[in-house]
């Protein structure tokens, strides 16, 4: 299956609520890094980079369902494309069950949480269920067979409070830009503090918990 965008979002402060966004490669294009996005109680289905773009987006009560990619390909849930640093690395966050789509055979297919579409890519998985489809390494370079050292230092990839067989972090990448977070609950920066634009009919927790305590990155594993 080739690239076909199912939804491209470039508006300011949209709320996508109780929707199913289905595709394969590049399913959701959350485009504009200057805007805020909120996705609630919805489902995205895809294969390679099926949530991508430079949006400051939060996904809550959300499901990311993985399909089988083309032969000899691997799945990637996110491809965030930031080109400028962010104040809070947690601004784009995903709180979503991540598992295979119903009836899909993923034998022999690796699935990663994300890869850097740009050098300052930033993604956080928070209080999510990560299914056994998620690779133990968690994250992958843009070119799986060619790791760019600079990019491993400039990305901001975070995991906090996740559960499920894919949530174990012992074998995660040893990149300087990857952190396991501990202590207090992670929040979504200005996304969580500026939600007055969410309609009252939609149940959403506006409260912003305090910042988490970051753990130092793991030292590189011996070859």
What residues act catalytically? 49
Do residues 144 and 119 touch, judged by C-beta distance below 8 A? no
H or E segment and range at residue 213: strand 213-214
Burial of 146 (0-12, 13-18, 19+ CB in 10 A): exposed
Mention every residue, 6+ apart, whose C-beta is less than 8 A from residue 85.
120
Task: Give CA–CA dist 104/112, Å, rounded.
Answer: 17
H or E segment and range at residue 179: strand 178-182
Q: How many secondary structure helices (H) and strands (E) does the chain include?
A: 2, 17
φ/ψ (deg, to 5) at 113: -70, -35
Token pair recorded at residue 210: 């305090």
Q: How far apart are the first and last CA of the chain?
A: 36
Beta-bridged to residue 39, according to DSSP, are: 16, 59
Torsional sign, CA 171, 174, 175, 176: positive
């Amino acid at each position: 299956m080739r690239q076909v965008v199912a939804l491209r979002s470039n508006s300011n402060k949209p709320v996508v609520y109780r929707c199913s966004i289905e595709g394969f490669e590049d399913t959701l294009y959350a485009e504009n890094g200057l805007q805020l996005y909120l996705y609630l109680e919805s489902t995205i289905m895809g294969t390679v980079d099926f949530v991508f773009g430079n949006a400051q987006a939060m996904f809550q009560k959300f499901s990311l369902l993985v399909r089988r990619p083309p032969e000899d390909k691997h799945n990637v849930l996110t491809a965030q494309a930031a080109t400028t640093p962010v104040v809070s690395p947690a601004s784009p966050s995903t709180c979503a069950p991540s598992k295979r789509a119903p009836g899909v055979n993923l034998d022999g297919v690796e699935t990663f949480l994300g890869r850097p579409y740009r050098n300052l890519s930033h993604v956080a998985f928070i209080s999510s269920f990560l299914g056994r489809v998620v690779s133990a390494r968690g994250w992958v370079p843009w070119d799986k067979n060619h790791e760019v050292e600079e990019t491993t230092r400039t990305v901001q990839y975070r995991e906090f409070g996740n559960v499920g067989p894919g949530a174990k972090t012992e074998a995660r990448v040893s990149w300087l830009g990857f952190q396991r977070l501990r202590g207090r609950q992670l929040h979504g920066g200005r996304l969580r503090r500026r939600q007055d634009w969410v309609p009252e009919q939609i149940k959403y927790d506006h409260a912003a918990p305090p910042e988490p305590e970051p753990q130092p990155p793991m030292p590189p594993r011996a070859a």
